[in-house]
Every structure is written in C-alpha cells, then in structure tokens.
Amino acid sequence: MSFLRSLLAVAAALGIEALAGRISPGALGYLDLMLVVVAYFAIRRSQRSAMLVGCAGGLLHDAWFQAGVFGISGFKKTLVAWVVGGLASRLDLNHAPGRVTVGVVLSISDQFLEVGLYRLMDLATAPLDPVRIVSRAAVTGVLVAIVFAIMDRKGSRTSMRGIRGRA
Amino acid sequence: MSSLNPARQNALLLIALLFVQLLLMAGNVRDAAGSTLLEKSALRISQPVVAVSRALGGGFSGVTGGVRDLTTARKENVHLRDEVVRLRGELDRYHEESIENQRLRQLLMMKEHIAPRSIGAAVVTAILSDQEHVVVVNRGTSHGVAPDQPVIAWGGAVGRVVFADSGHAKIRLLTDPNSGVAGLVQRSRQEGMILGRGKGLLEMVYVPSFADVALGDRIVTSGIDGVFPKGVGIGVVQASEAAGIARTILLEPEVDFSRLEEVLILVETEEPPQDPAEPESPPSGAGEEP
C-alpha cells in the first residue's frame, strides 16, 4: 500500500509538471513538485522511502525534461532526500515552520547541486540568478506547507470517520 | 545487512543509488546513446500520466485561447486587412524578382534549392528553467525523427533533436546553455557561433571587434555546422559592443519559445553530395540497358 502511494505521489507530481509545462513552460523554472514529494516522505515516512522516491521521481523528471545528462535529477534528489531524511529523523520538523524550512533548504541545495554537477561534467551552465533561487525556494516552501495541510486535513477526516464507525 | 543499524543501511542504499546514477551519467557524457534504454523505459512507463496532462492542458489552452481570440479578433481583423493590401503589392514585386532570380541562377548553372522534407509535430510539454530549455514533441523514430535533426517553427530556428523514442522526441532549444548553432549576419555575412544563455537572449561569439554588426541586424544560420540548412532565421541583434579583440553580441530570438505549440522537424536538410565535375547524364553501369 505504501509502495502504491509512493508511485501515485510521483505520478501525480510528474503529471502536474507536464501539465504546467504544456500551459506555461516558464513555470517549471519556479516549480519542482518532485521536491515537495521528497519533503513529504522525508518528514512523514522515513529516510529510505524519501531516497527511493527522490531517485524514481528524479529519473522520471530526467526522462521528460532533461536534454543533457540522464540521471542528474535522480542523483541530486536522492542526495537531498538522504540529508533531509536524516535531519527529520533527528529533529522534529513536522510543524509549519519546519516544513517550510525543509522546502526552502531542499530547493536551494537542489539548485546549487544541479549547477555543481553540470560543471563537474564540463557542461555549460547559466549563471545562477539570486531572484530565481529565492523565488523558487519560496514557492517550494509554500507548496510543502500546503501539501502537508491538505494531507493533515484528509488524515483527520479519515480518523473521525473511523471513530464514528466504531461508535 | 540485517545486523546493520538503519542509519548504516540507509547510507549503503544511498551509496548504491548514487553509484548507479553516476554510472548512468558517465555513460551519457561519454556516449549520447549510453543510457537510452533506461531513459526510453522511464519515458514509456510514465507516458499515460503525461498523456492525461496533455489532454487536460489542451482543454485548458482551448478555453483560455478561445476567450483571448474573441477579444483580439476584431482588432486583428482591421490590422490584417491593411497588411493584406500591403503584402499583395510586395508579393507582386517578389514574384518578379523570383523569376529574375531563377533565370540568373540557371544562367550561373547553380543548383536548384530543394525544400527539405519535414515532419510537423505538436508540443507535449516543455521546460524553460535556468539550466534546461527542452521541448518534448509527439513525433519519434517511428515517424522518421532521429537525433541531431534540426527543428524550426514559424519565424525561425528552434533547436535540435537530442533524443528520440518511438513516439516522442526531445528538442534542445537554442536558448539552452549547452546549445550552439553556426550563424552569420545576413547583411554583412560576418560569421559566428550562437550560444544559449539559459535566459531569453542568445549570444553570438567568435566575432572580431572590427566586424560590421549593427543593432537590428538579422542573424541567420550559416549551414556550416552541418545541422541546420543555410538561411534559417535565428534572431535580431539587440546589443553589440567591442570588448578587447572580440565583440559581444546579444540577440533576441525570432521564435517565442514560451509559446511554441507546433514545430517542424527537418528530416532531410541537404541534397546528396554531388561532384561538380560529374556529368549531368546518369552514369553507366548496373541497371542500364545494353
């Protein structure tokens, strides 16, 4: 069941990214939904599930949106998932400020890692734009908070139904 | 493995995952076709998800496009009527010039320009981030698309095919930081290399500081890169300043990459090489009647 949920989450993120790319290709410069999924799994589930989801989601992102090196998104998302998953197992990040911080940190580290990996492979990179970095990090942070809020609400409804059913 | 604590198990898993992906990346850098099997598999597995998104996106674009079209149709109609009158005059003039050109070409025994065979393709999805400028289209190897084929749209050059599956192809746009195309200034015939900058503008490099380049000059493909045919529009000079022995030139692309919906993939760009000394009559040999 957990595996199916992970697959659904990755598929939903890919579907929304593809839709956003169809409607407004520039939007994907500010939006990385795979990171939101990674953040959710790192905080709510485990470091291992976050790494596996990051790896699968990154590879699927590469298959559709990467023209240069296949595997680069998978690599960076696995790595950031490991770091955030490790932090989440030691610190309590399951509250609104913690979730937003995780989203922001994930996004910033993902962007720097991307440029670093490109340079490591001797590929050309565009100069990093501070406005773009900050706005993308802010969007990711807010999205992480929204996704958690939705899932919390859904979870509380399910548990209420369970209590009523037992009563 | 069971004797290890969870943190060590995760560290081992991380190392294994990163190692596999490093191998993938290394294979990709060394040889463009190195990891296409996995890439193709990932693309095929996730195809239904993207197909649903595409259908939804098509509906959304249709509704918003319809409303926008209604509001702008009247204004455009008046503008287009004026444009038709003006273009009719120009067309007559160009027709005359074309006949004259044809006559002169025949006189100079030049080869007739053969229009390249092309395939129309619709954009499935696209990304325009800092480091990635990619468009995915709904035509692939089963339609005759192959890597390194040039792609154009209404207005000019778009990019080149970098990956082709049976039903999809990925196109690296001219604005991608790893994109490059040989071009020349249409007016002064000054050659250079046009590189993507990851933003909206393109950069023309390898142009000497004394080169004759002015603002508003049109840059077209020179054809020497062996990918694009000669004369396809790339962009218009927006800024040009001498810096040492070279000149920094920024171009505004002729194609609006954020609004691409359909493109043309040129599957044949060049005529087969022909020796100028060779006679026009077919060579004698196999298949010829005795």
- The answer on pLDDT for A37 being more than 80 is yes
Best mutation target among B25, B168, B171 (most A Cβ atoms within 10 Å) is: B25
pLDDT grade for A120, boundaries at 50, 70 and 90: confident
CB of B286 within 8 Å of a chain A CB? The answer is no
CB contact under 8 A, B57 and A19: yes
What is the radius of gyration, based on Cα positions, of chain B?
25
Q: Distance (Å) from the C-alpha of residue B71 to the closest C-alpha of chain A?
A: 20
Where do the structural domains in chain B lie, given as residue ranges? 36-113, 118-266
What CATH number has the domain spanning B118-266? Answer: 2.40.10.340
Contact criterion met (CB below 8 Å) for B61 and A23? yes
Which of A23-27, A32-36, B79-83 has the weakest average pLDDT?
A: B79-83
Q: How many contacts, defined by CB atoms under 8 Å, are there between A and B?
A: 172
Query: Within a 13 Å sphere around the CA of A165, how many CA atoms are in the beta-carbon half?
Result: 6
Q: Which parts of chain B register pLDDT below 50?
A: 1, 34, 107, 110-112, 114, 272-290
What is the pTM for the complete model shown?
0.77
In chain B, which residue's Cα lies nearest the Cα of A7?
Answer: B46
Q: What pLDDT is stored for residue B103 in this prediction?
A: 59
Q: What pLDDT is stored for residue B284 in this prediction?
A: 40
CA nearest B173: which of B193, B192, B154, B195? B195
Cβ contacts of residue B124 below 8 Å, gap of 6+?
Answer: A18, A22, B50, B54, B136, B137, B138, B168
Amino acid at A32: D
CA nearest A97: which of A35, A134, A142? A142
pLDDT in tens, A49-80: 999 999 999 999 999 998 878 889 999 999 99
Q: What pLDDT is stored for residue B253 in this prediction?
A: 93
Q: What pLDDT is stored for residue A36 in this prediction?
A: 93
CB of A108 within 8 Å of a chain B CB? The answer is no
CA nearest A12: which of A143, A158, A145, A166? A143
Round to whole Å and give the CA distance between B19 and B14.
8
Per CB-CB distance under 8 Å, the chain A contacts of B176 are 67
CA nearest B126: which of B178, B222, B31, B57? B57
Q: Distance (Å) from the C-alpha of residue A5 to the closest C-alpha of chain B?
A: 15
Cβ contacts of residue B64 below 8 Å, gap of 6+?
Answer: none
pLDDT grade for A141, boundaries at 50, 70 and 90: very high
Coil, helix or strand for A48?
A: helix
Q: What pLDDT is stored for residue B288 in this prediction?
A: 38
